[in-house]
Amino acid sequence: MDASPYRPTQHTGAGKQRRIHRPARSVRAGPELRRRRSHTVSERVRVPDLSTHNDFDGPSFSSIYTTTVTVTGGMAGHGRASGRARSADGVLDLDLRTPAELGGDGRGTNPEQLFAAGFAACYHGALSLVAREAALDPATISVEATVAFGRDPGDGGYLLQIDMVVHWPGSDPEIAAPLLEKAESLCPYAKMAWQGTPTTITLAL
């Protein structure tokens, strides 16, 4: 199948402004996807009851879910090299290791893999919601997130680059592309990547 480029609108977050070169993401072209009623989708797991509309007009951020993950340094005292990541509820409990490409043993996961998983899962969920709203079956959608860790030419430090590819076999780009755009505006990970996100770092003694 041919790939047709999809480019999101570039946003500038608060603080230091810098031109961002963002690679195109691809919509996989193919035969027109037949519209199906959303009730034909087999659901063994309940889909979150989240709205796809801009129906919140509160004056400030309103939290509906909060989670906490603690990372410790392990034997090397280094979160990347020998860390352990544990969530407050105990569901997440992972060894962190430096990938072989950065000189580590690669025997555990790393921040880039976890970020890629979170971004892909969140965007997949947003796209599934808007697909259902359009009476399309999202069962065949998969989202591939590639996160690259590298050097930042802007300040000489480090930077992440994110490439997302949405696989939707049999979809019509004229139907799918607007849904990808709508999902981008709905997904908080996409908002974080393009616009920045409120962040605090506090020293606790």
Whole-angstrom Cα distance, residue 146 to residue 110? 13
Q: What is the CATH number of the domain that holds 135?
A: 3.30.300.20
Residue 13, class by beta-carbon neighbours within 10 Å (0-12 exposed, 13-18 middle, 19+ buried)? middle
Nearest alpha-carbon partner for 143 in 111, 110, 118, 161: 118
Listed residue (30, 31, 8) closest to 20, CA to CA: 8
The total number of structural domains that make up the chain: 1
7 belongs to a structural domain: no
- Domain-located, residue 135: yes
Average the pLDDT over 114-122 and give the result: 98
Question: pLDDT tens-digit profile of 147-192?
Answer: 999 999 999 999 999 999 999 999 999 999 999 999 999 999 999 9
**Is 189 inside a domain boundary?**
yes
Q: Does the pLDDT value for residue 27 go beyond 90?
A: no
**Domain residues for 139?**
24-34+109-195
* Least confident span in 4-8, 102-106, 137-141: 4-8
Indicate whether 181 belongs to any domain.
yes
Residue 130 lies in a domain: yes
In the predicted model, what is the mean pLDDT of residues 47-51? 79
pLDDT confidence of 53, banded at 50, 70, 90? confident
> Is 65 among the domain residues?
no
The proportion of the chain whose per-residue pLDDT surpasses 90, expressed as a percent, equals 72
Residue 24, pLDDT score: 43
How much is the pLDDT for 23? 43
For the segment 4-11, the average pLDDT, to the nearest whole number, is 47
| Mean local confidence (pLDDT), 54-78 | 93
Nearby residues of 151 by Cβ (< 8 Å), 6 or more positions away: 157, 158, 159
Give the pLDDT band of residue 43 (cuts 50, 70, 90).
Answer: low
Q: Quick one: what percent of the chain has pLDDT higher than 70?
A: 79
Q: What is the mean pLDDT of residues 101-107?
A: 94
Provide the pLDDT for residue 158: 97
Pick the more confident residue, 202 or 21: 202
Residue 119 lies in a domain: yes
69 in a structural domain: no
